Structure 1
Amino acid sequence: MSINLPISGPAVVAHGKGDLRIEDIPLSAPETGEAIVEIAYGGICGSDLHYWLHGAAGESILKEPMVLGHEIVGVVVRQAADGTGPAVGTPVAVHPATPAPGDARYPADRPNLSPGCTYLGSAARYPHTAGAFSRYANLPTRMLRPLPENLELRTAALVEPASVAWHAVGRAGDVKGKTALVIGSGPIGALVIAVLKRAGAAHIVAVDMHDKPLEIACAVGADQVFKGDEADAIAAVDADVVIESSGSHYGLDSAIKGATRGGKVVMVGLLPSGPQPVSVSLAITRELELLGSFRFNDEIDEVIDALADGSLLVDPVVTHEFGLAHSLEAFEMAKNSAESGKVLLNFQQ
């Protein structure tokens, strides 16, 4: 049944550094091309943690209270007024980006690089772009991806981060039969391993500082694991493809050292702004290809298909689930990378 306005519901709102609140937010009337989605699950991302812990994610600084959340799935409860998009009752995943042109040049076939791009739950611009960690959300129908009947919403909650991983592996090209090294086995690193496995990588080596992420890495396809301080063993991997997902200069340095001559290093972990102390001279003498990887484009559709047909194994990545009333506990757990993988908020409870 279609939902009627006015309506309100609880939402997870960041007010500033260390200030996370659950507030009742009234839902405004949707725009013509927007549907109302009842959110079922939301995955806590590193950017959500940064807004809570630091009041900023990189250079995106909170200037006003903002609803967090961009890793979301739910069910359409009111179709867009213009008749576009999924019908009422359709389960959907969400592509949280809104590409937009700007003054800077970018390849037309890579809208993720558009300089004016906005993202749900981002303080990159002011006014901020509200996220969807809320009971109900108005979402443009172009963001909505209908889900197959056999794909459970809980599994589909990983569609967005799995798309980030899929894009990163795609930047490396054909990995079939190759040796792959993944530095950092948190949720994105673990999903990268799952994508590499599906893509036919012959040998996958995972690295992390903690046992739990390495346990998850093995569950989704890693053949071998090392702790982050095993520098000599990591350097000896001699990988054709290395994907750096730790977001630290130590990880990037290990990635360069672990790559074979003429190999590729894909950088998906977002390092802090400014200079980074890494072994660039080694990248030069080995003729390594250093490739950036930022968000994703239409890979989300391939990810949904792969999850639906069971060829992409992601369930071990989810380690904890909390009801909305326990959001602060959920964020505390997500912060503890030694004990958790992907932490989900269940908005249905």
Structure 2
Amino acid sequence: MFAPDSTRAAVLHGPGDLRIEDIPLRALGPDDVLVTVDAVGVCGSDMHYFADGRNGQNVLRQPTVLGHETAGTVTATGSGVALEAGTRVAVEPAVGCGTCPTCRSGRYNLCPVGVCLGSPPTDGTFAEYVIAPRRAVHPLPDAIPLEVGALIEPLAVAVWAVRRAEVELGDRVLVTGAGPIGILVMQVARAAGAAEVIVTDVNDARLAQARALGASAVLNTADRAPELTGVDRLLECSAHPAALWQGLHTLRPAGRATVVGQAAPSVDGLPLAHLQRWEIELATAFRYAHAFPTAIAMAADGRVDLARVLTGRFPLDDAADALRAPVKDPSHLKVVVRPGDRAV
């Protein structure tokens, strides 16, 4: 099987300094899979690293390949892997060490020593080829085109968030934030049996997309808090503390709020007395665990429409433009980098 020893990749050297370079590929281990990358989704974390050299508390300290939302084709495998060349796959970027007590309990998303592709200093997948362990590689059915398969990773985030929110049949759900994750969370909540899913944002274009993709109602909260009561489940996807504080006051007694968007290191203003008085549960969601199979099944049978979330495509040579695109044009939901394409 063909196994190159280097790959072209988009390497971030500092804020705004993204260079297309040839970088070495390590040799395949017995449990490794070499994937020819078809598409990589641009995540908000990639955009933060590109713009600021950091995402939350993680700081870029050395040149790093960004990207972690990946689909492609198996090109070569290690001696212990039973996957045929040509198999279409989605790559799970963070699977933990696999041996610590946390991983062995099933919560490998919380592995204390785990790494994530594209999270500095670990190189990611804005590249023509990537090597991943077999347990991180998930075959895709024919019903999912490869470029859409890159969106399985953010869909897994949404699946995990809805699980953590404990959405049940008939629930009234509020999703704050109509970005890609919020819109995917909305679709997964509907598929999980929510009777009503309301989406809030400050961007009318994104709210229109949320409505078109199945939101029961949308509200622009740029000028006023949502005038809602009796919400069973709140999923906060905007990463704005004000949205969480507003959403908490829409919950019924014994409701549940789940923080999905990237939280600030510390936030003042939590209405703790309100939460205590009404026994409102506050939960958090970090990445996902064992969510890729569910995400693939939901995309394959149409319960979640990924194709309509994909709004832009860029070749690897234009990866910097891809990272700027959602800021320049907020109507974008998810753009992908296609390493096999060439700039024209």
Q: So what's the TM-score if we normalise by structure 2? A: 0.93
Q: For 1:4 and 1:120, locate their aligned partners in 2 and report how far apart those are by CA, in whole Å.
A: 20
**Within the alignment, does 1:59 sit opposite 2:57 as a pair?**
yes
Work out the CA distance in 1 between the residues paired with 2:304 and 2:171: 18
1:131-142 aligned within 5 A:
131-142=124-135
Q: Which has the higher mean CA deviation after the structures are superposed, 203-212 or 234-243?
A: 234-243
CA deviation after TM superposition for structure 1 residue 9, in Å: 3.1
How many residues are matched?
341
1:19-68 residue CA offsets vs partner (Å, 9 max, x unmatched): 22222223332222212110000001111111111111111111110011
Give the secondary-structure state (helix, strand or coil) at the position aligned to 1:118: coil
Any gaps of 5 or more consecutive residues in structure 1?
A: none
Q: 1:279 to 1:102 in 2, by over 3 A?
A: farther
Matched ranges for 1:182-261 at <5 A: 182-232=175-225, 234-261=226-253
Instruction: Name the CA distance, whole Å, in 2 between partners of 1:245 and 1:193.
Output: 10
Q: Helix, strand or coil for the counterpart of 1:169?
A: helix
The equivalent residue for 2:297 is 305
Q: Distance in 1 between matches of 2:11 and 2:303?
A: 36
Q: Is the 8 A contact 1:235 1:257 kept in 2?
A: no
Distance in 1 (CA, whole Å) between partners of 2:3 and 2:172 is 54
Which amino acid letter does the alignment assign opposite residue 172 of structure 2? T
Matched, 1:69 2:61: no
Which TM-score applies when normalising by structure 1? 0.92
Which residue among 252, 260, 284 is the counterpart of 1:268?
A: 260
Report the identity percentage: 34
Mapped partners of 1:61, 1:102: distance in 2: 27
Question: Per-residue CA shift, 1:291-326, capped at 9, x if unaligned?
Answer: 111110111111111211222222221111112121
Give the whole-Å Cα distance in 1 for the aligned partners of 2:310 and 2:256.
Answer: 29
**Distance (Å, rounded) in 2 between the aligned partners of 1:138 and 1:42:** 14
- Cα distance in 2, alignment partners of residues 103 and 97 from structure 1: 14
Counterparts of 2:172 and 2:233, CA distance in 1: 7
Taking structure 1 as reference, are residues 251 and 193 closer, same or farther at Cα in structure 2, changes over 3 Å only?
A: same
Supply the distance in 2 between the matched residues of 1:139 and 1:132 (Cα, whole angstroms): 10
1: distance between equivalents of 2:308 and 2:9? 27
**1:338 deviation in Å?**
2.5
**2:73 equivalent to 1:90:** no
Range with greater deviation from structure 2 (313-322 or 45-54): 313-322
Paired residues of 2:37 and 2:72 also in contact (CA < 8 A):
yes
Does the CA contact (< 8 Å) of 2:167 and 2:189 recur in 1? no
Considering only aligned residues, what root-mean-square deviation do their CA atoms show, in Å? Answer: 2.0
Distance 1:290 1:107 in 2: 26
Residues 3, 34 of structure 2: 8 Å contact kept: no
Q: Which residue of 1 aligns with 2:11?
A: 13
Distance 1:293 1:39, change over 3 A: same
Structure 1 residue 276 displacement after superposition? 3.0
Q: Deviations over 1:191-241 (max 9, x none)?
A: 001101111211111011112221221122101111123534x14243111
Tell me: CA distance 1:313–1:237, structure 2 relative to 1, closer, same or farther (3 Å).
farther
Note closer, same or farther for the CA distance 1:186–1:46 as it changes in structure 2 (3 Å cut): same
Matched residue SS, 2:212: helix
State the distance in 2 between where 1:201 and 1:176 align.
5
